[in-house]
């Protein structure tokens, strides 16, 4: 596989609690950072409601055009957990009880009141799926082809990501280096644009902030090539300094 190939993933966050504003999502940032370590870029995210049609539409649109598709949420034991059924529908396969998931849950609940019918729901998978280990709460995540079905609770999702680390094919991780500067981005916009054009394969993001009554910005230089990043950083920092704006390596 050429080093030039960019591997992409999409994420479907499933949950009324995110759309209602009740819960602050943590999985987008967590999965983005983890994917980058695997050499995979998070290309797009959709947040959808706990509705079968919404999940089916998002899953089918995104799995076709990305190397990997992750979902978070909706894999618990209650009536609002419909992710497995919706994804099975998207894939056109039946839902089955996975024998190993059943065994894992039987053992996990042996000392916790036993495997009830509600709990057995968490052993249901789209036919053809493999499991993703969940050391924390028993109920496993699910892999089906290029689809990874994860828990919505962020620290359970984190455990599932741990279990997947190093198992997915990816490319070169996107590296980045940040410089902070107490300047209005509008004052140096031309300089930033010119620096990006001067270094092919580099993107520069500009992120303004307002703190303690002062205006500043962080400039994030991204590329798969650290040498390019450092060269771009050095040139831009010198230009900013020459214009009277000292930069803080690592950002403010």
Residues that bind a copy of itself (CB under 8 A): 13, 16-26, 28-33, 36, 41-50, 54, 76-80, 112-113, 116-119, 121-122, 136-137, 153, 155, 174, 176, 184-187, 189-190, 192-193, 196, 203-210, 220, 222
Please, which residue, 49 or 163, has the CB nearer to a copy of itself? 49
State in angstroms the smallest separation of the CB of 91 from a copy of itself.
21
Identify which of 241, 205, 250, 247 has the alpha carbon closest to the alpha carbon of residue 223: 205
CA atoms 87, 89, 91, 94: torsion sign: positive
Identify which of 176, 173, 236 has the alpha carbon closest to the alpha carbon of residue 34: 173
| Whole-Å CA distances, 41 to 4, 53, 126 | 13, 27, 26
Please, which residue, 143 or 178, has the CB nearer to a copy of itself? 178
Please, which residue, 107 or 187, has the CB nearer to a copy of itself? 187
Please, which residue, 9 or 129, has the CB nearer to a copy of itself? 9
State in angstroms the smallest separation of the CB of 27 from a copy of itself.
11
Query: Under 8 Å CB-to-CB from 240, ≥6 apart: which residues?
Result: 179, 181, 183, 188, 191, 246, 247
DSSP 43: E
Residue 17's SS3 state is helix
State in angstroms the smallest separation of the CB of 2 from a copy of itself.
22
State in angstroms the smallest separation of the CB of 188 from a copy of itself.
8
């Amino acid at each position: 596989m050429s080093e030039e190939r960019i591997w992409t993933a999409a994420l479907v966050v499933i949950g009324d609690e995110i759309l209602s504003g009740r819960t602050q999502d943590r999985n987008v940032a967590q999965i983005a950072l983890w994917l980058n370590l695997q050499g995979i870029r998070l290309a797009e995210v959709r947040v959808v409601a706990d509705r079968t049609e919404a999940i089916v539409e998002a899953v089918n649109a995104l799995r076709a055009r990305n190397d990997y598709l992750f979902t978070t949420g909706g894999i618990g034991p209650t009536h609002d957990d419909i992710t497995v059924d919706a994804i099975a529908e998207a894939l056109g396969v039946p839902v089955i009880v996975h024998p190993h998931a059943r065994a894992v849950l039987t053992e996990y609940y042996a000392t916790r009141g036993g495997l009830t019918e509600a709990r057995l729901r968490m052993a249901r998978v789209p036919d053809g799926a493999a499991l993703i280990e969940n050391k924390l709460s028993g109920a496993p995540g699910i892999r089906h082809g290029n689809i990874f079905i994860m828990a919505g609770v962020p620290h359970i999702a984190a455990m599932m990501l741990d279990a997947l680390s190093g198992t997915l094919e990816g490319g070169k991780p996107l590296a980045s280096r940040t410089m902070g500067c107490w300047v209005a981005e509008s004052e140096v916009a031309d300089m930033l644009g010119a620096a990006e054009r001067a270094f092919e394969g580099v993107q520069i993001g500009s992120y303004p902030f307002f703190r303690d009554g002062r205006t500043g910005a962080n400039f994030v230089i991204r590329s798969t090539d650290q040498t390019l990043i450092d060269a771009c950083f050095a040139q831009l920092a010198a230009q900013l300094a020459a214009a009277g704006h000292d930069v803080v390596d690592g950002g403010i």
